[in-house]
Structures are given as structure tokens and as C-alpha cells.
Amino acid sequence: MDKSFKSGLDVIYLTSCALNGITPDRGVIEAMDLEAVFGQAKRHRMLSITYMAIESCRDTLEPELARKWGISAPQAVKSSLMYSVEREKLYRFMDENEIAYLPLKGIIMQDIYPKLGMRQMADNDILIDIDKRHLVRDYMVKNGYKSDGYGKDMHDVYIKPPIYNFEIHVYLAIESVDAVFYNYYLDIWQRLQRQDDKRSEYRFSVEDFYIYTLVHAYKHINYTGGIGIKPLTDIFVYLRRYEDSLDRGYLDAELERIRLTAFEKNMRLLSKKIFDAEATKENRIEDGLNEEEIQLLKFFIDSGSFGNKDTLYRGMIDRFANGEGKITRTGKIRYLLSRLFPTGPYIRENYPFFHRHKILLPALWVYRFFTKIFVKFGHVCKELKFISKQK
């Protein structure tokens, strides 16, 4: 068995033990390459939850590995509490200024996991009313945050030591990347549930949060090169809490509308199989998977939290496939032209100045060409090599 896949399965085993309240089998732990498992858990940002499982067998770890792994859980708890205090300050400001906001992703998911700190987060994501974007920027900068790329993307990034990283979203999808999701979320504020008349906080319904979780995973898998094991963990935890109360009729209709019916089924079935309590107790997680599921799981393990370039390039060029899903010579040429001479939504989202002054677009194309050649030549060569092999 491939070493990376084996260590990935070990991470899943430990995660399942933590989620299901199972004490890991000591013999299974002793058979692991624990350095490799630690490295894999770190790649997937799952050190805390795996340590919560392996803590009962801490004596099997080398002292330095035990120290490094052991600090992950209290650090995750501390980080979660620090973020909670900082978020409340931001929420209070937005309430006072009547800025509509929607907590996203891990902010919601962390409270559904069995224990605080199980779900590590690199950042906090919040959707706000785009018309109040400048007010939030002023608040963040005033409170010591560095603004990174304000107004240039679907979200603004704000960073402040020692740990804070907020992504303040104004859209939930990018039109130039996937118009289906972009259009689906255009009327987002009309579909949300306000939490309190005295506050400006909104929430998804349980069905719509599940849909957004799937959309987020799909976008990363197909457009940024992968996302790691954590989405499968999130889906397992979420469905364990809410599956019996979901309006399946509404859910199925919405998934069909955004073409995620098959994707949802695959994610749901795979997550249930790999985190099944009985399979975990008997250490036979892989045995219950068919070949297609094994390949899908290998993809999740290999991609890590931040994905890989080949998957990213494939997701980009797939948009230029013909009706049969094949990448023809014409499709490759159209793809390369779109990379060299971007227009439309891509320009509006990434280069707003040139969107407003379209007569200057040729200057941007020249700038991008020389930047790619002299600054990112290695990446360009890898992309061209990958594209040339596609069919």
C-alpha cells in the first residue's frame, strides 16, 4: 500500500475514534508509522482531533513527537476561544452599524463536533452586505488588522498577530469560476434567517448550510486543486446531527438545480463508510469501499488542505471540454487564450480598475504576459506541460 495513503487511512482511523468515542487499539497504533501519521494530520489540519484519540497511547510516541502532537489540542481550544472573543467584538460593531452578516463554515461547524477544539480552523469566514464593505474595512484596520487585497476578490482578508485571519466575504461564489453557484447565491440575503430583531446576524437553514458545505467542497476540489479529508469529516458530523430532520425533498430539488446530486451522494456515502464506528473498532475502514470510493479517498488524502496544482489545472481546463467531456485541440487553444487575454467577469473580480477602463485592457494583457514569463515561468511550464497531456 502506498505510504501516503496508509498514513491517510491512519489519520481517518484516529479521527473516527475521536468522533465515535472509541479507544484506539494499541496494536493498531504500534503498527503505525507515527511520524508519517503526524505529518499527514498536520497537512490536513487535523492534529488536534487525532491527538484526542491517540492520547490514550501517548507512551507509544517518541518524546519529541509526543510533545509536538500533545500541544495541538490545547492550542486548538485556545485558538477557538480567542477567535470567539474577537468575533463577538466584530459582531457588536456590525450590529451597531446595521451591517448584515452570516457566519460561515468552521464558525458553525466547530460547535457541532463532540468537543471544543476538534475542528481546527486557519481562519474565520463571514459573509457581509457588500454595500457596507468599507465600514468593516475601517473597523478592522482601526483595530490593528492588516488589510490584504481589499476589493479585489470575493472576500477581503484581514490579518493580525498572533493568530487572527478573517476572510470577510461579499459573495459566496465567483462568476468567472462557476456561474451556476454565483447565480444561485445572488439572492442569498432573501433566503437567510435573521437570528434576532436586535442583531444583524443571519443564518442558513439546516438544509442550506449543508448545501453550502457541499458547494464549498466542490469548488475547492474542482477549482483550487483539492481540499483534504476535513470536508468528509464535516459532512459526517453534520449528518449525524441533522440528517433525520433534513427536508430531503427541498434538498434534492436544490442539489439538482446546481448539479450536485451525484456529488452529494458520493460525499455522503463515503463519509459514512470511513467514519463508521463498527468498521473503526475492527480496523477495516478500507474493506467497505469499492474501487471508485478508494480512488476518491486517495484524491482527498493526496490533496491535503490546500490541494495540488494538477487538480487545479484540470478543473480549469474542464470548462473548455466539448459536449462529450473531451479536451480537444480547439478547447486547449480557447483555454490558453483565456489565460493570456482574460475578459468579462474575471477582469471585474480581479482587476476592477481595468474593468472600469476597458480601453486599457491591452496594457494589462502585456503586463500579465511578462509577469508570467519572468516571475512565474516555472508555474507556466508546469501548466503548459499538464495541459498538453489532457484529452
Q: Flag whether pLDDT at 310 surpasses 60.
A: no
Q: Flag whether pLDDT at 305 surpasses 50.
A: no
DSSP 139-154: HHHHTTPEEESTTSSS
- Using only the alpha carbons of the chain, give its radius of gyration: 22
**Residue 386 and residue 391: Cα distance in Å, rounded?**
11
**Residue 287 and residue 296: Cα distance in Å, rounded?**
15
**For 167-207, how does the pLDDT look when each residue is reduced to its tens digit (9 = 90+)?**
999 999 988 778 899 999 999 999 999 998 889 999 999 99
Q: Flag whether pLDDT at 322 surpasses 70.
A: no
User: To the nearest whole number, what is the mean pLDDT of the chain?
Assistant: 88
Burial tier of 25 (Cβ tally within 10 Å: 0-12, 13-18, 19+) = middle
Rounded mean pLDDT, 6-30: 96
Contact between 55 and 85 under an 8 Å Cβ cutoff? The reply is: no
pLDDT value of residue 194:
95
Name the pLDDT band for 309 (thresholds 50, 70, 90).
low
Across the beta sheet with 146-148, the strand order is 101-103, 124-128, 164-169, 155-160, 146-148
Rounded mean pLDDT, 318-339: 71
**For 56-107, how does the pLDDT look when each residue is reduced to its tens digit (9 = 90+)?**
999 999 999 999 999 999 999 999 999 999 999 999 999 999 999 999 999 9
pLDDT value of residue 209:
98
pLDDT value of residue 317:
61
Contact between 61 and 54 under an 8 Å Cβ cutoff? The reply is: yes
Task: Sketch the domain layout of the chain as residue ranges.
Answer: 3-70, 71-203, 312-389
Q: Flag whether pLDDT at 324 surpasses 70.
A: no
**Residue 271 and residue 267: Cα distance in Å, rounded?**
6
Looking at 3.30.460, 3.40.50, 1.10.357, 1.10.1660, the CATH number of the domain 71-203 comes to: 3.30.460
What residues contact residue 1 under an 8 Å CB cut-off, 6+ apart?
none
**For 115-156, how does the pLDDT look when each residue is reduced to its tens digit (9 = 90+)?**
999 999 889 999 999 999 999 999 999 999 999 888 877 899
> Quick one: cell of 223?
477549482
Name the pLDDT band for 374 (thresholds 50, 70, 90).
low
**Residue 166 pairs with which residues in a beta bridge?**
124, 158
